[in-house]
Structure 1
Amino acid sequence: MKRFFQALLGALSIFMLVVFTLFIGIFVFSAILLRVITPVSLRHKIASPVMVGVANCWISTNLWWMRHVLRIKFINVNPVPLSMNQWSLVISNHRSWVDIFALFAVFHRKIPILKFFIKKEMARYPVVGQAWWALDYPFMQRHSKSYLAKNPGKVNDDLIATKKACEKFSLQPTSVVNFLEGTRFSAEKHSKSKSPFKHLLKPKAGGIAFTIQALGEKFSTVLDVTIGYEGQTPSFWDMACGRVGKVLVHVEPTDVPAKFIAMDYRSSSENRVAFQEWLNQRWKIKDALLEKMSK
């Protein structure tokens, strides 16, 4: 009987999410129209704040539902001073779709709205895809090694997209989020990748390295986030059904080492090795934190 009522709650949650997103879509497309008619030089002063306001309304409402209806407890186990007037690079492990809401729960209205790197295919999603575009989320085209071997001219696509996004990010304080594992953790992926970490996949350096190259001097801090769950890692359906419980979020501020800000990541093997070693050290700390959270 309990599972039945949880399923009803899950169906209601998804229905409400869809209905509210479609309602917000009215304001999203109004903000997009404002963006289109606003001169490029004024967009970040006029159109962008309006779009951010619409996005914040969507986020606030969904977090209210999660906390008060789904009874999800987002617990910041290491509160640190935060500011709306700084550029932040947020790096995190990735286990579930719930991770995104956990980041919003901890950082919402405390640092500038989070900007994620989005797969290009997701731009086609109704309402949210257009909202991501209006918020200047960078859309990334992931190419396989075999595709790049046949089309070597595409090898710099992600770097070019990152640089274009960072040009816009440089105009006002921004929070750039990077899930360094590149995909959600699973036991199968962990085994297949032969990860040296118990609770994590290997961190991928390329995306964050390009971001630091393009915007490194702007970043006031790196917010290293570790997300852990009480019991089994929840799916999106588990979240909708209210089966998440506690979400533990540990935030540790650190700095981008000065030697990496002006590095040439793609051309220098020495820089690539040193940067990967720095990430691996961060991942060792994160792995130990996740071990504590699991107990």
Structure 2
Amino acid sequence: MLGTAPAYLLSWTACRLISAVLPSRVYRMMDDHLYNIYQSLVLFFFENYTGVEVIIYGDIPKNKENVVYLSNHQCTVDWIIADMLAVRQKALGHVRYVLKDGLKWLPLYGWYFSQHGGVYVKRSAKFDVKAMKKKLSSHTKLGTPMYLVIFPEGTRYNPDLKKMISDSQAFASKEGLAVLNHVLTPRMKASHVAIETMREHLDAVYDVTVVYEGMVSKGASRQPAPTMPEFLCKECPRVHIHFERVDIKEIPPESEFFRRWLHERFEIKDQMLASFYNPEDPDRKGKFPGDSQRSQLSITKTLPSLLFLGGLTLPMLFTESGRKLYVRTWVYGTVLGWLWVNLSP
């Protein structure tokens, strides 16, 4: 996946040059199509190669929608779960992320996620509300298809990090909020700004809860979620995804009411996770409430992207001039990307 990044960047550059004299809407459509190809390659490895069984609870809408996707956060694979749901709505190219500011340092990717519509945010007092509103407002004006992924906890839940969990619980208690055991106290600012800025553009919020099966020890205590290499090494046999669609009209616009609403959503997640790991009914162990279905992704949706990007990458590596172009793309792309993200207004 990393190896195809230069080929993808060169394809995107050609797309950008071609669309330079065309309306922004045309460029966005081309960019979304290219992003769909690349993310399909990612899903080839994370679904077809690993053979992971995806179990979905709830009904995913068949039609594309403009949404904000809210989920619990445990590991780097969580980003891929959003892809797994989006591809089942044929909305994979529309996935964009709200990312913590430090991720903009990722070579190539940090810059590309930003230009694809992602938003970098800092925590607490450093959070730049104006910058976030400006970027999301521009998407709304252009009518950009939106599948905006946000993890309100702000950082990954790890059962081994006791102090982080206790600090989160102490904050909730201080604020008069319910104390949570299987998720962290959600931060509301990014979610609230995103929903209110794009409210007229959005159809719904997707409330998603994820469990990686196999992450429970023999003593029934919860273990850390798999890392990305562990997942790709087939150490997670199943992923359980609980999906609930919340119509945008049901979400309170006032910040104080929104904060309560968001925390209540995470209370529900906390209860579902508690029941998943230690249910009162032993027959419900390892299951979310409600009916479930195994959702297998057809290899025809992911294999063409592997052949396409692989076909662009391999010729670059077989010639000396191609290898030089490959390396230069990584180096120049990283430097220019950093300048783009950090110095652009």
Q: What is the TM-score normalised by the length of structure 2?
A: 0.68
CA contact (8 A) 2:103 2:110 kept: yes
* Alignment size in residue pairs: 254
**Aligned position for 1:93:** 72
The structure having more radius of gyration, on CA atoms, is 2
**Aligned position for 2:115:** 134
Task: Structure 1 unaligned segments of length 5 or more: list them.
Answer: 1-16, 149-154, 266-271
Letter in 2 for 1:33: L
CA distance in 2, matches of 1:32, 1:131: 12
CA distance in 2, matches of 1:181, 1:91: 10
CA contact (8 A) 1:38 1:47 kept: no
> Equivalent of 2:233, from 210, 228, 241?
241
Letter in 2 for 1:100: W
Matched, 1:76 2:56: yes
CA distance in 1, matches of 2:40, 2:275: 30
| 1:257, distance to aligned residue in structure 2 (A) | 5.1
Task: Structure 2 unaligned segments of length 5 or more: list them.
Answer: 173-178, 216-224, 278-284, 286-345
CA distance in 2, matches of 1:242, 1:288: 28
CA distance in 2, matches of 1:258, 1:230: 32
Letter in 2 for 1:87: N
Detail structure 1 runs of 4+ shifted over 6 Å in the superposition. Answer: none
> Equivalent of 1:222, from 202, 205, 230?
205
**Aligned position for 1:286:** 269
**CA deviation digits over 1:211-265, x for unaligned, max 9?**
122112322111100111102210122123221211111110113456733x3x4
CA distance in 2, matches of 1:78, 1:258: 18
CA-atom RMSD in angstroms: 2.2
> Equivalent of 1:169, from 131, 136, 139?
139
Say which SS state the counterpart of residue 135 (structure 2) adopts.
Answer: helix
CA distance in 2, matches of 1:23, 1:75: 34
Mapping 1:1-295, distance limit 5 Å: 17-34=1-18, 37-38=20-21, 42-44=23-25, 46-84=26-64, 86-108=65-87, 110=89, 112=91, 113-140=94-121, 142=122, 148=125, 158-170=128-140, 171-187=143-159, 188=161, 189-194=164-169, 196-232=179-215, 233-256=225-248, 260-261=252-253, 263=254, 265=255, 272=256, 274-294=257-277, 295=285
CA contact (8 A) 1:136 1:168 kept: no
CA contact (8 A) 2:252 2:261 kept: no
**CA deviation digits over 1:68-112, x for unaligned, max 9?**
22222222222332422x321111110111111111111226164
CA distance in 1, matches of 2:110, 2:231: 22
Say which SS state the counterpart of residue 200 (structure 2) adopts.
Answer: helix
